[in-house]
Amino acid sequence: MDSTILRPVVDEILQLDEGGAHLLGSACQDCGTLYFPPVLSCRNPDCAGKTIVPSQLGGAGVLFSFTIQRYRPPALFALDPWEAYAIGSVDLAGGVRVLGIIQAPFDHLRPGLAVRLSTSVLNDGDEGAVITHVFVPDEDAPV
């Protein structure tokens, strides 16, 4: 096993490059709506064109709400070793709200917390570490 290889758990929606981590979504060229995950069509009823192009999402965001998941979800979620973790909804620039794991001490969590997109290892798979998108406190955010 090569632990330096990082493999997104779903590689169609998460990308790593020199600039860091990006979520892959869609943007509507006609009304500007951003979507995550990628969509086949814009769903804004006031948008007539609905021309969809790929779009990278990420960077800084604001925690809208959160919870701490105390019970282990079904096996499709391969967090190993298992421990309770936080899930939150994060408002990103452009009016898209994204769900993700929030990697922060539980007692730091509060709506309004400045966060940014990152990645975290879910488990050490056979062909490299399996990672998923997470949000972490944004140390660079203006207070």
Residues lying near another protein in the complex (CB under 8 A): 9-10, 12-14, 25, 33-40, 43-46, 64-71, 73-74, 76-77, 79, 85, 87-89, 91, 95-101, 110-112, 132-133
37 binds, among Zn ion, another protein, none (CB under 5 to 8 A by kind): another protein
**137 and 109 Cβ atoms separated by less than 8 Å:** no
Measured from the CB of residue 120, what is the shortest distance to another protein in angstroms? 11
Least CB distance to Zn ion at residue 121 (A): 36
E strands along 1-143, which residues? 6-8, 14-17, 20-28, 34-35, 52-57, 60-69, 85-92, 96-102, 114-125, 128-137
Q: How far apart are CA 120 and CA 127, in angstroms?
A: 16
Q: Quote the least distance from Cβ 10 to Zn ion, whole Å.
A: 25
Q: Which is nearer to another protein, 98 or 104 (CB)?
A: 98
The one of Zn ion, another protein, none whose footprint includes residue 28, by CB under 5 to 8 A per kind, is Zn ion
Residue 30 binding target from Zn ion, another protein, none, CB below 5 to 8 Å by type: Zn ion
Q: Which residue ranges make up the site for Zn ion (CB under 5 A)?
A: 28, 30-31, 42, 44, 47
10 Å Cβ neighbour count for 9?
18
Which are the contacts of 23, defined by CB distance < 8 A and separation ≥ 6?
13, 14, 15, 36, 56, 57, 58, 98, 117, 133
